[in-house]
Amino acid sequence: MRRRFFTIIAVLAIGASLGFVVIQNSDTFFEVKRGIDLFGTVYKDVAENYVDPVSPQMLMRKGIDAMLASLDPYTVYMDKDNSGEIDLLTSGKYGGIGVSIGTANGKVIITGVIDGYSAQRQGLRIGDQILKIDTTDVSSLKLDGVSNLVRGEPGTQVKLTIKREGDEKPFEVMLVRSEIRVKSVSYYGILDSNIGFIKLDQFSRGSDQEVRNALTDLMARTKLRGLILDLRNNPGGLLEAAVNIAELFVPKGSVIVMTKGRDPSSDRKYVSDQDPIAPNVPLAVLVNGNTASASEIVSGALQDLDRGVVVGTNTFGKGLVQTILPLDYNAQLKITTARYYTPSGRCIQKINYDRRRDGESAIIPDSLRKEFRTADGRGVYEAGGITPDSIVVGEHHSNFVLQLMRGGYFFNYATDFRSKHDSIPAHFTAGKEVLEDFRDYANKNGFTYISRLSQLMDDAEQIASSSNYAPSVQKDVHDLADKIATEERGLFEKHSEEISQLLTAEIEGRFGGDSAQVRAALRYDNQAKVARAMLEDSPLYLRVLGLAH
């Protein structure tokens, strides 16, 4: 029986096919056969003879999972119920109604609505709560179970029961599933000074064509002074998509990435075989700690070839390649089969899973990281992800604002705001009136902020009292606690600018979708501002690339 194999080059991503690994060593073959015999015997005996009834399927799954857990976190067994994300990446489409869903406070919430599909045409909104799918109450279902009910064959119908903020009663809506094509470019546009901007969220089937279309459109609109490619929080995707996107910028014949594995058939060099469409546009790539795998291939290739500056913080550091092996009964095995190397020859894998200490994998120390050279001689290093050419820390939220975020107050308030307003003005900003309304909303909905310092002061007062400290000491402790409490009561005002920025983007997203939210967030994006300034300053840009003479 023929079996197909897919290469994965991301945290969850698939690329080109690889050949089957034939075990030729006779000792290894004997050990594998012996292990299969022993495992099969133990599995059968336990399933049939254990004192209490056990599920053979559960027993088999736990045995496989435990075996694979001794390797790396990317080598996993997937049955038919949890292989949907792999299928989605390989095809770039699925049958659905055009929504993304999440959970908040035990509720199933619509977190995104895709333009042009049934959910958007029928008026569903971000923040709508799903109560039922057809006749099934979703309150007790896991998110995967809800997704499975929403998705289905194109052309079939599904009925959702929806509870909307501001409406007294739930309502039902009948939706028709269609073939949903997943968008990888959530936003592109032209910033000040004719700087183009493309935000790429993943590398799935068709992502390269989306980037090509976006870039072509931007270049048709104006003579670009530079381009920012935003790969922040991009977990990776298809190897072919990464190679094809890099080809848009690098000279024909450039090595983009190499893979090397235990089996010689895993060894491959990916070389650009087409002329770039933007060979001379100055380029800046935004990255952060969640930029992984295929995203690191693109950013690493552009850095090694001195084609663009990398701005942000160190990337995730995943330099491993996985292969998908289809199994019987619609199951699949995703197994690490190779490492990938950037054009300079470095592998950026951060964690060495072969060097385990007390069960923990070792992070390769900086002192052991080997230096490599870019095309024009700049020093770059292996084993720690991609280190940016210009390190710029991203947004940092105060503990006060983080507590508001974790409680869902920004998301829920924006939903409430949308239910009360039909539109917002162009270039909307959450001003004083909105901020006061948000504070009232948060307080009415149970928001209380107790800092770690306040908790420590409560403990200090109790200790001072129970330990019979002098009255003057107890008074000093009490007075300090009052001062801290007074300070914390003014935290809404103290962090009003930070709160306004987050509210502005969230509310913009309710009215204009993902692209509007990204566009609004760019107003306050420090990393994007630095990248834009670098592209506007040609001498600085060339100095960073080591090209200034």
Active-site positions read 293, 304, 318
Residues 509/515/518/523 CA torsion (nearest 10 deg): -90
- Report which of 343, 337, 350 is spatially closest to residue 292, judged by C-alpha positions: 350
Contact predicate 172/133, CB 8 Å: no
Contact 160, 141 (CB under 8 A): no
Residue 281: name the closest of 236, 249, 245 by CA. 249
Q: What is residue 192's DSSP assignment?
A: G
User: Please, are residues 148 and 127 in contact by the beta-carbon 8 Å criterion?
Assistant: no
347's tokens: 């592998």
Q: What span, in angstroms and rounded, lies between the C-alpha atoms of 187 and 183? A: 10
Cα–Cα distance measured from residue 63 to residue 57, given in angstroms and rounded to the nearest whole number: 10
Both tokens assigned to 297: 């291939």
* DSSP code string of 251-315: PTT-EEEEEEESSGGG-EEEE--S--SSSSS-EEEEE-TT--THHHHHHHHHHHTT-SEEEES--
Distance CA 297, CA 246 (A): 9
d(CA 335, CA 8): 9
Q: Give CA–CA dist 261/337, Å, rounded.
A: 6
**Cβ neighbours around 442 below 10 Å, total:** 21
In terms of phi and psi (left: phi > 0; alpha: psi -120 to 50; beta: otherwise), the region of 501 is: alpha
For residue 308, what are the CA distances in angstroms to 316, 317, 534, 535, 537? Answer: 19, 19, 11, 10, 14
Report how far residue 187's alpha carbon sits from residue 214's, in angstroms, rounded to the nearest whole number. Answer: 9
Q: 78 near 98, Cβ under 8 Å?
A: no
Query: How many of the other CB atoms lie within 10 Å of CB of 233?
Result: 17
CA distances 7 to 73, 322, 329, Å, are: 16, 5, 21
β-bridge mates for residue 158, sequence order: 175
